[in-house]
Structure 1
Amino acid sequence: MTTTSTESTALNQRAAGRAETRMYIDGELRDARSGKQFDNTSPATGELLGTTSAAGPEDMVAAIAAARRAFDETEWSTNHGLRKRCLVQLQEALESESEELREEIVAEVGAPLMTTMMAQVDWPLADALRFPTELIDSFAWSRELGVGKAGDGQRRVVKEPVGVVAAIAPWNYPFEIVSNKLGQALATGNTVVLKPDPNTPWTSTRLGRLIAEHTDIPAGVVNVVPTPDNEVAELLVSDPRVDLVSFTGSTQVGRRIAGRAAETLKRVFLELGGKSALVLLDDADLDAAIPSTLQVCFHAGQGCAINSRLLVPAHRYDEVVARVAELFEMIRPGDPARGDTLLGPVINTRQRDRILGFVDRAKAAGAQVLTGGAAPTDLHPELAGGSYVLPTLVAGTDNSAEIARQEVFGPVMVVLPYSDDAEALAVANDSDYGLSGSVFTSSPDRGMEFANRIRAGSFSVNGGLFYGADAPYGGYKASGIGRQNGIEGFEQYLETKTIGYL
């Protein structure tokens, strides 16, 4: 790749020329029955990338029926060897198109190229399918309990797939999240209807094509159904033939899914929002800690685990605020196709305006916006139609403010002072969310003690990274229900049956 200031223009053209625009239902790559399509727009330029088939109710119903039939009538749910072989085939197919996938992520997600070397592409490509595939052989699918209290024979506990899984994915990390959902659901013997976010459909439709062309996965086991119509998508939640909904996205939508799923007593996995705290204890090395504040600039702050509240000791508040503001002012939004861009666009202009609305309301309520809080005015002309936001630092407020409590999902950090460790812990935990967080201290033991008292599903001490397909990920409170990845994530796609036998 070259690194000119207009690299996205050329990259977008390449990605659009290779994109799979068809849905994949019951082993067939096809257009929507209605012939309808919807637009896919570049976050970097605001220009149309291309179109994708728009599923209607008849397409979604067909996908659910195919998944139900494949689970009930094929050997997919019981044949471990078949599942393992097919997942290895899919892994090899993805590896063969990894560079095309990388450019597709930059084009439709607006993710900076450097992020594809990490959680956007390379990390999940390395283990999202491999880890659950390896578990097929090593997992304890059954265990013996021995004779029961009545003395009437032996007892066995067996693990079986749940059935039909509806996998509903977001736009911010589409390949990472989709591959982890698919890997675990398929390795455990379930069939899947995958509904990608309409902002980023091509990663999922590519997976549909790879499954069709390069694997022996039976027809109906995986169905990829893109649609911009929420009523069509909601059929996945209301249809009694679907056994589990695996959703990653906003807490607001998660609550609706949980409510609708309860009508048919579906199981749900919900990985939802966060408002995580980055806590600097009074003995923290600021030189080591302050660069971590740049995580709100990484992929424009569009990550649920990003720490967007910065908690600092009151006596170090002025120093920290000055240093973070200086750091943020050094970061300029840029072309995501460039290798040196840290801060790319947010997903669309609607999200940009939502982010800036949070900042404007904070200012109106008396907060100080020390830097940022606006769209950049110095972008290259070919990027002027993109949806960019300057890194933003908000001070002069407390933890009760909207901007400190609601998930902004953009490059915005709010700084909050505290008096002692007890208050820092109380403020960090004083949130509707409980997804992630981090602490910096010169004492690892003190850091671990703090981590153990945080009400969150994942946590980092002094920059330690918890990510991996072998690591369960999810949240407390309004950040969700269940875990993705790890043994815990694998088991959530399984039912448990106890058998007594003579």
Structure 2
Amino acid sequence: MTVEATTAAPALNTDRRLLIDGELVGAERTYPTSNPATGAVLGHAPDAGVAEAERAIAAARRAFDETTWATDPGFRADCLDQLYRALVENVEELRELTIAEAGAARLLTERAQVDAPLEIVKHYAELLRGYSFREELGELESRGAKHRRWVEKEAAGVVAAIIAYNYPNQLALAKLAPALAAGCTVVLKAAPDTPLITLALGELIANHTDIPAGVVNVLSSDDPEVGPLLTTHPDVDMVTFTGSTATGRRIMAAASETVKKVFLELGGKSAMVLLDDADFAMPAMMAAFMICSHAGQGCAITTRLVVPRAEHDEIVAAVAQNLANIKPGDPAHPHTYLGPLISERQRDKVHAMVQRAVADGATLVTGGEKVDPGWFYTPTLLTNVDPDSEIAQEEVFGPVLVVLPHDGDDDAVRIANNSIYGLAGAVYSADEERAVAVARRIRAGAFSVNGGLYFAPDTPFGGFKQSGIGREMGTAGLEEFLESKTFATVVP
């Protein structure tokens, strides 16, 4: 099976620069970035090293300590408005770059990959204008005097923002927008696999906004020393990271040396639970389309389908039929839904996990095949899976779905909670009250009930357990980047 290009690739600007202290600059070295749909080199990104990272941190420190950025919310809101307009005006360039470098299907760029993330910036500009950074606590009588008390919220300081490759626009803007709204300064490090997209965001900031020099710095790097520097440098006050749980653990440990504030949005092994009174047709379709969304490269994707034992075979057949209708294809084509994995390395990892699962006794219902050229993988469905096995416990980050039977609501909850992760989930039932009751018992940060959409700029997103610490988006996302300071005066 092969995938053929069906559209002519548009001309892309792949000559991108780092943003350091308000200047767009190169680096002594570059490294290649590839188009995952073809495997061909797309361009070369500046390979920032320790020296560039040190300059970026120093610029962010100076901008926070010596300018009025942190104390002028009106100006910050105006700058976010400018950034939003620049993103909208340049959205087609971002779209084509995201298709080419991230392998995102064009259909998905019209939603979560490109268009929807822009609205995060608009949301925080609007939120900032109505947000109160001061809370009055009233008076307290003590030692024969009255004391007036209040709390003020201040920017956390210099933020190191490190993102993953799967949704580069979403992840960057979900960190940048609230951090800037809060008054922080930022060093944003692109994912090594998708540097050009993130550098393009930096260029828009430099060329189309009044954000002062040093407030935002954007790095691309394949240097293994740069990440650790950002997470340990004494001039960095906070680290916000999206990526694997394994890397998140290392970042948390590294940041502890200087007791930094840490936000982590990590892995997931989310469960879609079907109760015995559900109409199985809709969730069988949703399970198939979810696992193929961006080739399964999403931390909140429901990768475990937990179904009533009596209806197991019926549901498996329906999911398999839906998966059969989803074919890997050129992500640039307007009708493609399933694009490639980000790299050959990632595809090999996915394939090895599937092969080990089958060797351990799982049944391969469909899929499990590499598709060339590029790094495509067929939608894969596994049954007869041990709930404690690697394939049922570890994040695959590919289009691989496992089906697990349950024997009633209590058993379904037990299976769903049998994970170190707790990022998201879904439940289907004809009885909404019953579905919500089951969802409340599952330890996860977000839940879709009967297909409800929870992901939007105004809704907090984050996980329980080893899926992370803190929340992105919504008012909670802004407050991640704030510190509280308590004041008291004696009333005359």
TM-score range for the pair, normalised by the shorter chain length: over 0.9
Aligned counterpart in structure 2 of residue 115 of structure 1, from 108, 127, 141: 108
Cα deviation, 1:410-433, whole Å, max 9, x if unaligned, reads 000000111111100110111100
Cα deviation, 1:278-336, whole Å, max 9, x if unaligned, reads 11110110122211112101110000000000111110011111121222122211100
Aligned counterpart in structure 2 of residue 401 of structure 1, from 389, 393, 399: 389
- Structure 1 partner of 2:345: 350
Aligned counterpart in structure 1 of residue 373 of structure 2, from 360, 380, 385: 385
2:309 corresponds to 1:314: yes
- Structure 1 partner of 2:360: 365
Cα deviation, 1:150-178, whole Å, max 9, x if unaligned, reads 23431110000000000101100000110
Aligned counterpart in structure 2 of residue 129 of structure 1, from 83, 97, 121: 121
- Inter-partner Cα distance in structure 2 for 1:462 and 1:175: 28
- Structure 1 partner of 2:135: 143
1:135: Cα distance to partner? 1.6
- Structure 2 partner of 1:45: 38
Written as runs of structure 1 = structure 2, the 5 A alignment for 1:168-317 is 168-293=162-287, 294-317=289-312
SS of 1:408's partner is coil
2:65 corresponds to 1:72: yes
SS of 1:285's partner is coil
- Inter-partner Cα distance in structure 2 for 1:492 and 1:498: 17
1:137: Cα distance to partner? 1.8
- Inter-partner Cα distance in structure 2 for 1:164 and 1:20: 28
SS of 1:145's partner is strand
- Inter-partner Cα distance in structure 2 for 1:254 and 1:148: 42
SS of 1:334's partner is coil
SS of 1:337's partner is coil
- Inter-partner Cα distance in structure 1 for 2:15 and 2:80: 20
- Inter-partner Cα distance in structure 1 for 2:263 and 2:204: 26
- Structure 1 partner of 2:95: 102
1:337: Cα distance to partner? 0.4
The answer to whether the 8 A contact 1:71-1:221 is kept is: yes
1:5: Cα distance to partner? 4.9
1:270: Cα distance to partner? 0.1
Aligned counterpart in structure 1 of residue 76 of structure 2, from 79, 83, 89: 83
SS of 1:496's partner is strand
The answer to whether the 8 A contact 1:20-1:206 is kept is: no
Aligned counterpart in structure 2 of residue 158 of structure 1, from 152, 159, 162: 152
Aligned counterpart in structure 1 of residue 404 of structure 2, from 407, 410, 416: 416
- Structure 1 partner of 2:47: 54
1:7: Cα distance to partner? 4.3
Q: Which runs of 5+ in 2 are unaligned?
A: none
- Inter-partner Cα distance in structure 1 for 2:404 and 2:4: 37
The answer to whether the 8 A contact 2:113-2:170 is kept is: yes
- Inter-partner Cα distance in structure 2 for 1:366 and 1:289: 26
The answer to whether the 8 A contact 2:39-2:373 is kept is: yes
2:328 corresponds to 1:333: yes
- Inter-partner Cα distance in structure 1 for 2:378 and 2:228: 35
- Inter-partner Cα distance in structure 1 for 2:136 and 2:452: 39
Moved more, 134-143 or 403-412: 134-143
SS of 1:328's partner is helix
The answer to whether the 8 A contact 1:104-1:203 is kept is: yes
The answer to whether the 8 A contact 1:331-1:391 is kept is: yes
Written as runs of structure 1 = structure 2, the 5 A alignment for 1:6-45 is 6-7=5-6, 10-11=9-10, 14-15=11-12, 18-32=13-27, 35-45=28-38
The answer to whether the 8 A contact 1:43-1:347 is kept is: yes
Moved more, 142-151 or 342-351: 142-151
- Inter-partner Cα distance in structure 2 for 1:253 and 1:263: 16
Q: Which runs of 5+ in 1 are unaligned?
A: 377-383
- Structure 1 partner of 2:452: 464
Question: Aligned AA for 1:94?
Answer: L
1:148: Cα distance to partner? 2.2
- Structure 2 partner of 1:492: 480
- Inter-partner Cα distance in structure 1 for 2:7 and 2:286: 27
1:231: Cα distance to partner? 1.1
- Inter-partner Cα distance in structure 2 for 1:273 and 1:230: 21
- Inter-partner Cα distance in structure 1 for 2:407 and 2:166: 36
- Inter-partner Cα distance in structure 1 for 2:364 and 2:209: 53
- Inter-partner Cα distance in structure 1 for 2:6 and 2:486: 58
The answer to whether the 8 A contact 2:363-2:382 is kept is: yes
- Inter-partner Cα distance in structure 2 for 1:65 and 1:363: 51
- Inter-partner Cα distance in structure 2 for 1:351 and 1:149: 63
SS of 1:148's partner is strand
- Structure 2 partner of 1:445: 433
SS of 1:498's partner is strand
- Structure 1 partner of 2:420: 432
CA RMSD for the aligned pairs? 1.2
- Inter-partner Cα distance in structure 1 for 2:219 and 2:164: 14
The answer to whether the 8 A contact 1:114-1:341 is kept is: yes
TM-score when normalising by structure 2: 0.97
Question: Aligned AA for 1:254?
Answer: G
Question: Aligned AA for 2:98?
Answer: I
Question: Aligned AA for 2:450?
Answer: N
- Inter-partner Cα distance in structure 1 for 2:478 and 2:405: 40
- Inter-partner Cα distance in structure 2 for 1:396 and 1:5: 34
Cα deviation, 1:109-167, whole Å, max 9, x if unaligned, reads 00100000111011111x21111111212112101112224234311100000000001
TM-score when normalising by structure 1: 0.95
Question: Aligned AA for 2:451?
Answer: G
The answer to whether the 8 A contact 1:23-1:29 is kept is: yes
- Inter-partner Cα distance in structure 1 for 2:33 and 2:141: 62
SS of 2:330's partner is coil
The answer to whether the 8 A contact 1:273-1:435 is kept is: yes
1:398: Cα distance to partner? 2.4
